[in-house]
Structure 1
Amino acid sequence: MKYKKIGDILILDENPGNLDELARKHNVKTIMRINHIQGTKREPSYEVLYGSETETVNRENKCLFKLDLSKVMWSKGNTNERLRIAKMVKKDETVLDMFAGIGYFSIPIAVHSDAKKIISIEINPNSYHYLCENIKLNKCDNVTPVLGDCLVETPNYKADRIVMGYVKTTHHYLKVAVNSLNEGGIIHYHETVPEKLIETRPISRIRDAAGERNVELLKINKIKKYAPGVEHVVIDALID
């Protein structure tokens, strides 16, 4: 049986069997099934199978994340990526976190780096609420939450590093991201891409968005299988 434990809630992918026994074994208060994540606000379609409370606090990479799994998503597959990015941030950088969610990237960056400022943009009011909660919970004074659409809000800021931790339609936001990136800045662009196009399509999209600016591919980081023949990847690119 496939499952993931988020705080004191168990998320199942398959038929659960004995729920009481499962709850005792994993020491959880609630058991849920997340059917899928939908829309640009990344809202879960879910079933509560056992218990009733859907809010929890998850600990990861020395960070605390408060969230309600009936309202917002959590991706365990990005655990290593969240810490990888945080450790790349240099002292006194201004970081722009597009599609910030509950602070998946912003909180680890604040906890594990000496970033000067982190601007976190999120469109979903529920996710924004927990982003603000997590800023307080982790005492991240250098994180500024912004409620709004990345297409509208991103042009209001300039940054040395931009995180684009969203997939499916992320390429539609590349132009505004590149325009807000300082010269010599780094962009971390997420994309779901067919395996045969990993080496070409994502970086080509970044170069198209950058126009006459020089783009240097630093790394292609594979996160996980998204679907048969499709990978979730992150492109690290330096743009002059």
Structure 2
Amino acid sequence: MKYKKIGDILILNDDSDNLEELAEKHNVKTIMKIDHIQGTKREPVYKILFGSETETINKENKCLFKLDLSKVMWSKGNVNERLRIAKLVRDNETVLDMFAGIGYFSIPIGVHSNARKVISIEINPNSYYYLCENVKLNKCDNITPVLGDCLVETPKYNADRILMGYVKTTHHYLKVAVNSLNKGGIIHYHETVPEKLLETRPISRIKQAAGDRDVELLKINKIKKYAPGVEHVVIDALID
């Protein structure tokens, strides 16, 4: 039986018997099954199997994440990537976190780096609420949460580093991201890509969005298998 524990809530891949026994074994208050995540607001389609409370606090990399698993998503597969990005942020950088969610990347940056400012844009009001809660919970005074569409809000800012921690339609947002990136800045672009196109498609999309600006590929970082023959990757690119 596959499962993941988020705070004091257990997420199962399949239905199971002996739920009370399972809850006691893993010391959780609720057991849920999340069928899938839907839409640009990344909202879960779920079923409660045991218990009733869906709000919890998850601890990860010395960060606290308060969330309601009936309203917002959580990806355990990105745990190493969240810390990797936080450690790349240089002192006094301005960071723009597009698709910020509850602060998956913003909070580790606020906790583990000396960024001057982190602008965190999120379109889902529920995720935005928990983003604000997590800023307070982790005492990250340098994070500014922004409620709105990245296409509309991103052009209002300029940043030294831009995070694009979303997949499926992320390439539609590349142009506004590149236009807001300072000269010599770094973009971290997430994409789900067939393995045979891994070395070509993501970077070509960044170059197309960059136009006349020079693009240097720094790293292709594999996060996890998204589907058979398809990888979730992050492209680190420097743009002059």
TM-score (norm 1): 1.00
Q: Cα deviations across residues 90-120 of structure 1 (Å, max 9, x unaligned)?
A: 0000000000000000000000000000000
Aligned residue runs from structure 1 range 43-62, under 5 A: 43-62=43-62
Q: Cα deviations across residues 45-93 of structure 1 (Å, max 9, x unaligned)?
A: 0000000000000000000000000000000000000000000000000
Aligned residue runs from structure 1 range 151-190, under 5 A: 151-190=151-190
- What displacement does 1:16 show? 1.6
User: In the alignment, is residue 13 of structure 1 matched against residue 13 of structure 2?
Assistant: yes
Alpha-carbon separation, structure 2, partners of 1:15 and 1:212: 53
1:67 aligned residue: 67
Q: Which secondary structure does the structure 2 equivalent of 1:173 belong to?
A: helix
Alpha-carbon separation, structure 1, partners of 2:49 and 2:14: 12
Alpha-carbon separation, structure 2, partners of 1:87 and 1:151: 27
Alpha-carbon separation, structure 2, partners of 1:201 and 1:230: 13
Alpha-carbon separation, structure 1, partners of 2:2 and 2:114: 37
| Aligned sequence identity (%) | 85
- Letter of the 1:64 partner, please give it: L
Alpha-carbon separation, structure 2, partners of 1:214 and 1:111: 32
Q: Cα deviations across residues 168-190 of structure 1 (Å, max 9, x unaligned)?
A: 00000000000000000000000
1:196 aligned residue: 196
- Letter of the 1:167 partner, please give it: V
User: In the alignment, is residue 107 of structure 1 matched against residue 75 of structure 2?
Assistant: no
Q: Which secondary structure does the structure 1 equivalent of 2:57 belong to?
A: strand
Alpha-carbon separation, structure 1, partners of 2:3 and 2:204: 36
2:133 aligned residue: 133
2:122 aligned residue: 122
Alpha-carbon separation, structure 2, partners of 1:129 and 1:16: 32
- What displacement does 1:29 show? 0.1
1:33 aligned residue: 33
Q: Which secondary structure does the structure 2 equivalent of 1:58 belong to?
A: strand
- What displacement does 1:17 show? 2.0
User: In the alignment, is residue 85 of structure 1 matched against residue 80 of structure 2?
Assistant: no
Q: Which secondary structure does the structure 1 equivalent of 2:90 belong to?
A: coil
- What displacement does 1:15 show? 2.7
- What displacement does 1:14 show? 1.7
Q: Which secondary structure does the structure 1 equivalent of 2:71 belong to?
A: coil
CA RMSD of aligned residues (A): 0.4
- What displacement does 1:6 show? 0.1
Alpha-carbon separation, structure 2, partners of 1:16 and 1:183: 53
1:143 aligned residue: 143
Q: Which secondary structure does the structure 2 equivalent of 1:24 belong to?
A: helix
The count of aligned residue pairs is 240
TM-score (norm 2): 1.00
